[in-house]
Amino acid sequence: ESARTGGGTRDRCRHSSVPAVVRTHLQAVDRVPLFCAPLASHSQDMKFIHIIAGLLALASGGVALYAAKGSWLHRKSGLVFVAAMWVMSALGAEMAAFGTTPNRVSVVAGLLTFYLVSTSLLTVRRTVEQARALLTGLTLVALAIGVFGVVIGIDGLNNNGGRVDELPAQPLLMFSAVALLGALLDARVLWARDIRGALRLARHLWRMTFAMWIATTSFFLGQAKLFPAPLRKTALLAIPVVLVLVLMFYWLARVLLSNRRKAVMPVGANSRLVR
């Protein structure tokens, strides 16, 4: 009876009241037929929250990228971005790990995004000594992410035709390398017990912007099937992805090469604007 009426049952189980673009996304990421069961409903609710958080992160992240650095708009949009990214990355990693079809590449990407956003926020909100315990824990998380990704990535290259859970192993190895780099830089900061001036700003910028790049790539390229066919046949969907990378390197170069950034930035307050 379930097989015979599955289509109608699935339709009744979906979020028929949500906006069309979100409903389309929910349908696109479905891995198995959904029936009116608590587990299926919970999974669908998590996907809905994950998508809304992702859209909010993209919007607020775009504002933070283009706003004058240190301005009220930059700080407020940045906090919205951080909160949205925490929700999006945590739910994404959880669904990828415990879903019907596990996706270890997405698990690594989600955990890496959570780590990058967290350490970036700590950089401008706390001194190293104030955040030592939390930063040490996050460093160990990044080390575990990197080692795990390298191990399964190399195994995929050697034994599974270069794939991990049906996805290319190369992106996984890139995420793992970033996690290991982040852990190494964290260890350096913990050893030095302080980070100031341009290096402190650069640490904040690259981590937040790379997390934004992961989210942008996941949406525009990872979910390209949601966009009209004419867009998919062009390079338009890659423009936001490339733009975030360009902005990351632009701001890093501007901060590191500017003599004005030799002064120490006060903790928890960015009174000077980078325009």
Q: What is the 3-state secondary structure (H, E, C) of 15-40?
A: CCCCCHHHHHHHHHHCCCCCCCCHHH
Q: How confident is the model at residue 255 (pLDDT cuts 50, 70, 90)?
A: confident
The answer on pLDDT for 135 being more than 90 is yes
Query: Quick one: tokens of 167?
Result: 């996805």
Distance CA 192, CA 128 (A): 9
Give the model's pLDDT for residue 273.
Answer: 41
Sign of the torsion angle spanned by Cα atoms 26, 30, 34, 38: negative
The answer on pLDDT for 62 being more than 80 is yes
Distance CA 151, CA 164 (A): 11
Give the model's pLDDT for residue 260.
Answer: 54
Give the model's pLDDT for residue 40.
Answer: 52
Distance CA 143, CA 112 (A): 10
What residues contact 39, with CB distance under 8 A and at least 6 apart? none
- Would you say 189 and 166 are in contact if contact means Cβ atoms under 8 Å apart? no
In 3-state terms the chain splits into helix, strand, coil percentages (rounded to 5) of 75, 0, 25
Distance CA 146, CA 18 (A): 37
- Using CB atoms within 10 Å of the CB of residue 91, give its burial: 0 to 12 exposed, 13 to 18 middle, 19+ buried: buried
Tell me, what amino acid is at 274? V
Mean pLDDT of all residues in 203-212: 95
Sign of the torsion angle spanned by Cα atoms 87, 91, 92, 93: positive
Mean of per-residue pLDDT scores for the chain: 81
The answer on pLDDT for 141 being more than 80 is yes
Residue written as tokens 């062009």?
234
Residue written as tokens 């945590």?
90
Give the model's pLDDT for residue 2.
Answer: 40
pTM over 0.75: yes
- Would you say 109 and 152 are in contact if contact means Cβ atoms under 8 Å apart? no
- Would you say 118 and 138 are in contact if contact means Cβ atoms under 8 Å apart? yes
The answer on pLDDT for 29 being more than 60 is no
Tell me, what amino acid is at 268? G
Give the model's pLDDT for residue 33.
Answer: 42
**Which range has highest mean pLDDT (66-75, 199-208, 230-239)?**
199-208
Report the candidate in 242, 260, 217, 243 with the shortest Cα–Cα distance to residue 69.
260
Between residues 232 and 128, the one the model is more confident about = 128
- Would you say 154 and 177 are in contact if contact means Cβ atoms under 8 Å apart? no
Question: pLDDT tens digits, residue range 87-119?
Answer: 999 999 999 998 878 899 999 999 999 999 999
Give the model's pLDDT for residue 47.
Answer: 85
